[in-house]
Structure 1
Amino acid sequence: MSSLTLSSSWSPPPATGYAVGVLIGNKLHLNPIHAVVQLRPSMDYLSSGNSKGKKNATSGEDSNEGKPLGLPKKQSKQMSSGNEQKPDVEESWIPLKYHGSKSDLSSRYLQNMVAPESSTIEFAMNPYDYMSSLCPGISNNNIKLNGPSRRVLLSLPLEERIKRLFLEGPPIHRFAALRHLIPNDSIEDLLIVLQEYGQLVQGLWVPKTSLLFPNPKPTEKVKLAARDYILLLFSKSLVVTPSELNVPMKPLILKSFLNIFAVERPSFKDWKFKENVDTLFVELYPDIVRKQEQAWEVMGKNISAAFDRAGKSVSKNVITKPKKTMTDETREALRKALPKVLQTHKVCSFQMICQGLRQLAISQSTLPKADPRIAVAAASGAEAPPEELQEVISEVATNIHGFYVLKSSPEHPDFDPLRKVVIGLFLARGPNANIKKSEVQAAARLELKREPSNSEYIKVMTDLCESKGSAWVLKSGDGKPS
């Protein structure tokens, strides 16, 4: 065989579910694939028959004997029925040269597939959302795709894009992930459309029931009210207790929606919302949060009225606002005691805060001249429902993926602007994130319009983080609680 022709074909449909990964050390660099070209040997210049026919085919002469050798049955059948392929001279052939993986040309392309160490990216998505947006498709057809691909979404108008995401995507959306999929429209336009088709629950967006079920039957209205009721409860607290589910609805219907939005915790005898609060959105857009709170109040009244029309009463405390068990005295004591606990441990888990409140009460009680009443009252707050204690903690501290840090440093309040920048970076990166000095400096230049001093940088970072190689990670925050 003196020559071999490689015939190309585009892979349908577009390969939006794939990426090329380049592994260098312990870092994986991903490059999305937008199309695939296949190169396969083309045997149509060979033909079956006698040796003369083979010789003529090899030398480039025509041979009319027999069918082409090596073609698939389908293609051979098409050619025998008169659908001959066009001669090569009529096709746009491009000569290609093979370059090995060690060649200079291949090395240059490889370098372009790797982000340099010095390039900083303001990343406001957690790794799961990023991977889902980059590679939404997977090769296993037995697993359902998690929403439309980014390439398809970018081709749609803003309103249609949001509706498509809400109808086909996950049940809960972070604003940073939505912004990544809608990069060109203004934030103001995005927020307007989000409020039209979605509702805010703990700083996250969920599709409205009216969008998912536009024309419900009369028999389905009770079921849809159950979805709104579950979301109403989670809009007020990350945790739902069995007493709040004691309403005139079928338990199976309530549980079907609980399974979508929450995780059952048998040891605590409650249901916990699947996602952490998007504190970054809550802090950046307080006006939107207030509007959504007002919308939920109206929703609660409508649900209550729907029960009344059906002749079924339900507790107004459950519909409008969960009943609080913590006294005002305990809340005020907590506001004074929590900064002391958080100042001692710097980074605290919820469990560590509860233990710290109890230890503070014990230590104050043993001091001869100290007044332990405030510390004892604050310690009683550790026995209150978790959602009530978390509400008070959020007044003085920021929740970074389950760990709390003071919003303001009692020792160096003048460094609070940089502290807020560092907290924002950890919130945007997701759990177990690490940040580097160059990233902090870049974020400070962007947010504060200045370069932080070395003493300011060291104090803020050592207050919140611990060094791990060339990066910083958030302190553990567990304090080995007993």
Structure 2
Amino acid sequence: MPSNMADDEDDPVEHEVDVFLSKSLADNLYLLQYPVRPQKMTYDEIDIHTARVKPVQKKVEIECSVNTRSPHYARSKGEQIALNVDGAFGNSAESFYSSDKMDKQVLTSTTTGDRSGRYAVGIFKDGELHLTPLHAIIQMRPSFNYLDRADQKMKADVGPAGDGGESSQDEEEEVKPVTVKFAQQESEEAKARRMASFDYLQKKQQEEAWQKLQYHNITSGRAEAERLQLYAGKGSELSEFQLQAGEYLQALMPETDQEQEEKPAMPSNVLSLMQLRTMPLHDQVKTLLTNAKVIRFSQLLALLPQGIEATAVLRSLQQVAVLVQGCWVVKSEILYPKEATSPHSGVSAEHICKGRDYVMWRFTQSRHVTRKDIASIVKLPAEDVKDILEQISRIRVNCGWEFLFTYDSEFTSRYGDIVQRQKMLWEAKYQALAKQLKIPKEHEKKFKDKDPVLLPGEKPTRRRRNSSRSSSTGTRRKRTLSGRSLSDYSDQELDAIKQDLENHEDPQSRTEEPMEVSSAELSKNLNGTMEVTPNSDCDKLKGENSTNTGDFDQEVQNFVKEKLYTRFVVSTSELRRLFQMHLAQCPPGHILSTGVSDSLLEEAVLKVGGVQLENQWPPNTQQEPIYALTKTGDRLDPARTVLLNYFTSSPKISRKQFVKAVEDGCGMTLSEHDTRLLLKDYCAQKGNTWMLKGTVPVS
């Protein structure tokens, strides 16, 4: 065999064989195995008395003779077995054995674990290979069910002797009460469990009738005629180009559900994107929401396959999630099915769902909640309340529990009809929760006024503070990033904002000058009012000093460098897609969540050593900037330069062309391993040629 490193062009075809598929015996071709019998001791020369089959169960039974004249046959044991089975009068019509000794045995089949549909019987003749698929693979083993007849006969003989000679006519029949039961209507779940039970399956197996077979010896004329059906008939000639390559491969090796079931289950906290892409869109959305609990719409689109319309995603999203502060939270009934219970306290799923729905409603009214207030309403154990809060919020010092993500004004401004529909659903949900949890009417107004969430189109209400200190000094009130005064917030949020201001202001100017705010840092909602970005570890003031800007640029460069040094070639669209996936994996409030444009990503590529290629494009492809890493500091850098320069004049290259170009350009002789390594780093194989990554046309 040639080396695995060789291309298809260096691996010529030595010989071709025509393959024919015969289906004449496909429904009746069994492969019989005899695991308890030596290979040399076949049943070809042994008399077969009877044979029968159950086609549905693929079960076979064969009665074959036993050589009673063999020196290895124990005559006394054989006579004893026949006596126990048939009794003293062994020549009657109901006798199992035809003589006074054990002169036959029964072979019964058992199924194997192999899937017979993946195997075939082949015959090679005249340069042609004829294949016939197997219907079943079974193993034949001796059966000893006839010994049960001996036990039944013994019990029947002992029964009359133990009655003590009493006549049944001398006894009156005992009166027994009769209980009448009426069968209830069977549910679908109960019916499915009953049909999957062992008793039901055993009953179905016993109901199938045996079909008698006629045995023909391997040397008989009938056996020879049947073997001829293993050859495929000469039908009409078919063109070898009727199937595409992918369809032909799928026909040769079809996917089976059983193989998927045999794969080991992944951990519950791990989600495979490869398996995710094989699911329908609704299941993909449901799986992502179940794992993430809370997600932005932009993050969800980045995790789904490219080309899916946003309207289709929203249609599935509204079935499995609800809108909270512009973000999507998985529904409670998805996380806690009816039959589930709390892992901490054993509380039923119904009570857990009510408590979780109330927590989500509270977050539609305010940024912060406290566990004490929640527990007083939902009446759940402390561990369950904490578990619910940890799914969709994070704890804040002096604030309680804050919703996990900032308000997604981008989604609410773009999909106003969905926001309005979700608002109406939450109003109806709260009315139901108020009755179920017995919430007082004044409770709703109390928490709405405490810490409101500013929705698009709503203006914050200003609340005056009577401060003798501010009125006496006459100093101007300090302002936050959004332009609101500190008095516009609740007392709990005010403490956190004051603490942030004290950490960032200069001690000498803390009471003399107002805080400077850059216009680039202000974000506006639909009606033009400023919006506060909630506190988080990564919500830094980018215009405050050069340190934060440097950290932001360094974070972008680290991401770009890691992708460029592992992929070597990346297009602008691919880099954007990778960044969206990276951002979805970052914790809430990450420094990159403020937004990174394509121009910033391109600048970062150039700073970390990448170059923009002036490559040729194949026909019918969409052109875009492509960046590559030309130098890594090893001995193959000249060969990398030659390879990338080659694509300035041609969109594809062969292995031999690349080796020759390196020899002519820099005098290097590449080994098979180095050639393959460089081509795989920078190119994608298309037949016998290689094309630059990102330029391969979509077939």
User: Given the two structures, how large is their TM-score scaled by the length of structure 2?
Assistant: 0.30
Q: Which has the higher helix share?
A: 1
User: Given the two structures, how large is their TM-score scaled by the length of structure 1?
Assistant: 0.42
Give the number of the structure whose alpha-carbon radius of gyration is greater. Answer: 2
